[in-house]
């Protein structure tokens, strides 16, 4: 593909400076910087014919380009099934290249979006739209909030996002399971991390793709969380017949530690918010409460905890501050 | 001698006069702004007349980044200063910078609130002590944009006015002579900057003892978040077991209610 990015590669420094000074400056300064922007994606085979593309357990930064998420792909008899598409068009392109390198010549037959958070679906653009599938509620959420997320991602990670547009899935899922290219996948319509979270199980290998209902050694995020519902969903995942869990963030997990850890953290979050709101603490005071030692090893727990206070505290106050009778 | 004496007193007179003129003209040098805001001189001139010192004892707590720019939590704690008369909180780069003024008449110089931010801005707090000095400190808060010009969530609901002023509150006795009062009052807090929605906000909250002694007086302004949520710490040393809250908005709606202060200390 010929693009301004590639074109600039062949310019020498003086030419680039001349361009910068000229009317093309705005279009160009990003492109010069873009030289260095490449996702270094690697596929790790976590089960037979099943690859995880692990993201860093960080928050969105200009350095990581939003590559903080686990994406996966599965080789099925007739092709490839992809779970989530990453944070940007550029990521989607790198993912496609990685799939082609890992399982050459096999067509992508299905792409699932587990939920509507931007790191999970903004690579959709590079896939055939009719192959991208999610529960109707996930599609509704993408349609309602996707553009806002996309704008915010440009602000958070900058030029990595170039050319990324919100693209909602072309197919709404309803079935309890579906056969794709000779492999059956069970679909579980859960919620709690957001108002719609899809969990997928490969019935052949027993790998469960939990989306962001499970985090592992990385603090859970809560911008659309309903903690009680989330806990119920964790119980459902725990009860599934399975061999391995790939969480949305963090390493794969054989014995279900990610579910226990996520549930434990959410429990503590709920207790801390309850205690703080019933004592009338300000949000800033609630943010300074000590994090128990068993969670201090979770990546980005300090920032995620502070974000969670902002997400959750109002609802706890509404529940815990009694209504006053007016004179 | 007489002449010289009167000459000296005239000179003294002039000297005093000069002093007071130069004070009026801003003899106090404005310290450099640790937040490096382009609005610093303007803010100081408008809100902090007189001597200004940058003072780390004014603790301003806010997140580095606004996760929700409609509800950015701020807590001001100036309890390390004595004889605090007035606290003013500002958002330099908001279209309306003045957030609130607190007169902690008989209260700790402490206030928690939430604010709408239009863009990344310094949150600046000036604390005036009884000697007239403004003790100023603040923090920079990052924000995406659009907090003040977006309509309140209440306007998504056709009968929002039915719950106007509805209040939730928690009152605790933190020590023998100190209460903590956190309250939330339903109010859209319209800035007048969202298209077609005129300015309409809760402008005054007064906390008194049951016998009418003023404890804390708050003036709120447009940047305060929808459904203002405020935390203050009234002194309850005189055996106060009940507080009276009086609030008024810019349309003259008045709200008044008593709040019991528990007799036992709970900390």
A137-188 pLDDT, tens digit per residue, is: 999 999 999 998 898 899 889 999 999 999 999 999 999 999 999 999 999 9
Contacts of A157 in chain B (CB under 8 A): none
Q: Do B153 and B237 reside in the same domain of the chain?
A: yes
- Are B93 and B170 contained in the same domain? yes
Q: Are residues B26 and B69 in the same domain?
A: no
Confidence of residue A241 (pLDDT cuts 50, 70, 90): very high
Same-domain check for residues B20 and B47: no
Q: Determine the distance in angstroms separating the CA of B82 from the nearest CA of chain A, rounded to an integer.
A: 22
Q: What percent of chain A lies above the pLDDT cut of 70? A: 89
B148 touches chain A (CB under 8 A): no
Of residues B177 and A25, more confidence is placed in B177
Q: Collect all residues of chain A within an 8 Å Cβ-Cβ radius of residue B231.
A: 280-282
For the ranges A221-225, A266-270, B27-31, B256-260, which has the lowest average pLDDT?
Answer: B27-31
Average pLDDT value over all residues in chain A: 90
> What's the pLDDT at B238?
66
The model's pTM is 0.85
Instruction: Looking at the complex, report in whole angstroms how far the Cα of residue B214 sits from the nearest Cα belonging to chain A.
Output: 18
Per-residue b or e along B246-262, where b marks 16 or more CB atoms closer than 10 Å to that residue's CB: ebbbbeeeebebebebe
Contacts of B167 in chain A (CB under 8 A): 323-324, 326
A61-118 pLDDT, tens digit per residue, is 999 999 999 999 999 999 999 999 999 999 999 999 999 999 999 999 999 999 999 9
Please report residues of A whose CB lies closer than 8 A to that of B102: none
Integer Cα distance of B128 and A32 in angstroms: 51
A307 vs B: CB within 8 A: yes
Q: Kindly provide the b/e burial profile for residues B148-173, where b requires at least 16 CB atoms within 10 angstroms of the residue's own CB.
A: bebbbebeeeeeeeeebbebbbbbbb
Residue A22 lies in a domain: no
The answer to whether B167 contacts A152, with C-beta atoms less than 8 Å apart, is: no
Greater model confidence, A35 or B219: B219
Rounded to a whole number, what is the distance in Å from the CA of B177 to chain A's nearest CA? 17
| Closest residue on chain A to B174 (Cα) | A279
Does residue A8 form part of some domain? no
Would residue A26 count as lying in a domain? no
CB distance A314–B71 less than 8 Å?
yes
Is the complex ipTM more than 0.90? no
- Is pLDDT of A316 > 90? yes
Give the range among A119-128, A241-250, B95-104, B186-195 with minimum mean pLDDT: B186-195
Identify the bridge partners of residue B127 per DSSP, sorted by sequence position: B87, B135
Query: Residue A226: which domain range?
Result: 39-320
Same domain? B125 vs B143: yes
Q: How confident is the model at residue A34 (pLDDT cuts 50, 70, 90)?
A: very low
Chain A residues touching B169 at Cβ < 8 A: 321-322, 324
Can you give the three-state secondary structure of chain B, one letter per residue?
Answer: CHHHHHHHHHHHHHHHHHHHHHHHCCCCCCCCCCCCCCCHHHHHHHHCCCCEEECCCCEEECCCECCCCCCEEEEEECCCCCCEEEEEEEECCCCCCEEEEEECCCEEEEEEEEECCCCCEEEEEEEEECCCCEEEEEEEEECCCCCCCCCCHHHHCCCHHHHCCCEEEEEEEEECCEEEEEEEECCCCECCCCCCCCCECEEEEEEEECCCCEEEEEEECCCECCCCEEEEEEECCCCCCEEEEEEEECCCCEEEEEEECCCCCCC
A289 touches chain B (CB under 8 A): no
Q: Do B83 and B25 have their domain in common? A: no
Query: B47 with B21, same domain?
Result: no
* The pLDDT value given to residue B157: 78
In a domain, A24, yes or no: no
Tell me if A15 is assigned to some domain: no
Window 267-286 of A, Cβ < 8 Å to B: 277-285
CB contact under 8 A, B229 and A317: yes
CB contact under 8 A, A282 and B231: yes
* B52: nearest Cα among B11, B6, B100, B88: B88
What confidence score (pLDDT) does residue A152 get?
A: 87
Residue entry with tokens 């899809």: A198
Q: Which of A151, A280, A306 sits opposite B63 (nearest CB)?
A: A306
Nearest CA in chain B to A222: B67
Q: To the nearest whole angstrom, how far is the Cα of B255 from the nearest Cα of chain A?
A: 7
So what's the pLDDT on residue B28?
Answer: 87
> Looking at the complex, does the CB of residue A144 fall below 8 Å from at least one CB of chain B?
no
Give A88-138 as a DSSP string: SHHHHHHHHHHHHHHSTTPPEEEEE--SS-HHHHTTGGGS-GGGEEEEHHH
Which residues of chain B, if any, have pLDDT below 70?
A: 1-27, 145-147, 238
Share of chain A above pLDDT 90, in %: 86
pLDDT at residue number B237 = 78
pLDDT of residue B12: 52
Q: Which residues are within 8 A (CB) of B89 and not within 5 positions of it... i.e. 6 or more apart?
A: B74, B76, B99, B100, B101, B111, B113, B115, B123, B124, B125
Min Cα–Cα distance to chain B from A223, Å:
9
CB pair distance less than 8 Å for A324 and B180: no
Residue A260 lies in a domain: yes
Q: Do A283 and B114 touch (CB under 8 A)?
A: yes
Q: Among A19-23, A224-228, A320-324, where is mean pLDDT lowest? A: A19-23
Contact A278 B170 (CB under 8 A): yes
B123 in the same domain as B24: no
Contact list in A for residue B181 (CB cut-off 8 A) is 280
Across A40-57, average pLDDT: 97
CATH of the domain at B191: 2.60.40.2470
Between A and B, how many residue pairs show a Cβ–Cβ distance under 8 A?
Answer: 88
Out of B73, B165, B168, the one facing A321 most closely (by C-beta) is: B168
Q: What is the CATH number of the domain that holds A80?
A: 3.60.15.10
Chain A CB contacts of B183 below 8 Å? 321, 324
pLDDT in tens, B219-263: 999 999 999 999 999 999 767 899 999 999 999 999 999 999 998
Co-location of B60 and B140 in the same domain: yes
Instruction: Give B-chain residues touching A145 at CB under 8 angstroms.
Output: none
Name the minimum distance, in Å, from the CA of B52 to any CA of chain A: 26
B218: containing domain: 37-260
Please give the tally of structural domains in chain B: 2
Comparing CA positions, the residue from A106, A103, A169, A102 lying closest to residue A138 is: A169
* Closest residue in chain A to residue B226, using alpha carbons only: A314
pLDDT at A301: 96
Tokens 């922007």, located at residue:
A37
Task: Determine the pLDDT at residue B109.
Answer: 98
* Between A17 and B55, residue with greater pLDDT: B55
Contact: B67, A311; criterion CB under 8 Å? yes
Q: Considering only alpha carbons, which residue of chain B is nearest residue A308?
A: B67
What is the secondary structure of A203-221 as a DSSP string? TTT-EEEEEEEEESSB---
Number of domains in chain A: 1
Residues B43 and B146 in one domain: yes
Q: Which residues 237-266 of chain B have a CB within 8 Å of chain A?
A: 255-259
Question: What sign does the dihedral B94-B107-A284-B257 (CA atoms) show?
Answer: negative
Q: Is residue A14 part of a domain?
A: no
Give a yes or no: residue A11 inside a domain: no
In a domain, B69, yes or no: yes
Structure confidence at residue A35 (pLDDT): 55
Contact A326 B67 (CB under 8 A): no
**Same domain, yes or no: B23 and B124:** no
Tell me the C-alpha distance between B205 and A76, whole Å: 66
Alpha-carbon distance B11 to nearest alpha carbon in chain A (angstroms): 55
């Amino acid at each position: 593909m010929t693009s301004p990015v590639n074109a600039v590669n062949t310019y020498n420094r003086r030419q680039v400076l001349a361009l910068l000074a000229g009317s093309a400056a705005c279009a160009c300064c990003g492109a010069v910087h873009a030289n260095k922007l490449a996702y270094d994606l690697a596929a790790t085979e976590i089960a037979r014919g099943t690859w995880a593309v692990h993201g860093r357990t960080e928050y969105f930064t200009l350095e990581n380009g939003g590559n903080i998420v686990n994406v996966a792909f599965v080789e099925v008899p007739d092709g490839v099934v992809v779970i989530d598409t990453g944070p940007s068009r550029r990521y989607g392109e790198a993912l496609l290249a990685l799939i082609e390198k890992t399982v050459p010549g096999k067509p992508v037959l299905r792409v699932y979006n587990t939920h509507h958070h931007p790191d999970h679906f903004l690579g959709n653009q590079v896939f055939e739209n009719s192959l991208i599938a999610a529960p109707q509620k996930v599609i509704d959420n993408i349609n309602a909030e996707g553009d806002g997320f996309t704008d915010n991602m440009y602000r958070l990670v900058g030029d990595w996002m170039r050319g990324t547009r919100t693209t909602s899935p072309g197919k709404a899922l309803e079935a309890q399971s579906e056969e794709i290219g000779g492999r059956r996948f069970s679909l579980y319509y859960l919620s709690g991390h957001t108002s719609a979270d899809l969990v997928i199980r490969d019935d052949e290998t027993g790998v469960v793709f939990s989306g962001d209902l499970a985090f592992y050694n990385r603090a859970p995020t809560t911008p659309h969380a309903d903690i009680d519902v989330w806990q119920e969903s964790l119980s459902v995942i725990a009860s599934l017949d399975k061999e391995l869990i790939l969480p949305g963030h963090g390493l794969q997990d054989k014995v279900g530690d990610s579910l226990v850890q996520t549930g434990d953290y959410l429990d503590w979050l709920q207790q801390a918010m309850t205690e703080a709101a019933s004592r009338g603490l300000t949000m800033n005071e609630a943010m300074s409460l000590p994090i128990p030692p068993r969670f201090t090893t979770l990546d980005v727990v300090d920032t995620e905890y502070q974000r969670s206070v902002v997400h959750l505290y109002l609802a706890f106050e509404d529940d815990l501050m009694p209504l006053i009778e007016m004179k | 001698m007489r002449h010289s004496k009167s000459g000296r007193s005239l000179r003294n007179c002039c000297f005093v006069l000069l002093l007071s003129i130069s004070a009026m003209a801003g003899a106090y040098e404005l310290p450099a702004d640790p937040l490096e805001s382009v609005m610093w001189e303007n803010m100081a001139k408008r809100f902090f007349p007189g001597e200004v010192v940058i003072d780390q004892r004014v603790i301003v707590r806010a997140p580095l980044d606004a996760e929700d720019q409609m509800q950015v939590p701020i807590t001001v704690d100036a309890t390390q200063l004595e004889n605090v008369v007035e606290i003013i909180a500002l958002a330099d780069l908001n279209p309306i910078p003045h957030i609130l003024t607190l007169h902690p008449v008989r209260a700790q110089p402490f206030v928690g609130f939430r604010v709408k931010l239009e863009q990344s801005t310094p949150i600046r707090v000036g604390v005036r002590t009884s000697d007239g000095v403004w003790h100023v400190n603040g923090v920079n808060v990052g924000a995406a944009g659009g907090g003040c010009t977006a309509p309140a969530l209440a306007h998504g609901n056709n009968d929002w006015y039915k719950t106007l002023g509805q209040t939730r509150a928690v009152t605790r006795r933190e020590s023998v002579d100190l209460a903590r009062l956190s309250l939330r009052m339903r109010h859209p807090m319209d800035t007048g900057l969202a298209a077609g929605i005129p300015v309409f906000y809760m402008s005054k909250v007064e906390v008194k003892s049951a016998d009418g002694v003023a404890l804390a007086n708050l003036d709120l302004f447009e940047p305060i978040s929808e459904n203002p949520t405020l935390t203050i710490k009234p002194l309850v040393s005189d055996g106060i077991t009940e507080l009276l809250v009086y609030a008024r908005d810019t349309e003259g709606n008045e709200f008044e209610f008593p709040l019991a202060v528990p007799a036992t200390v709970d900390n």
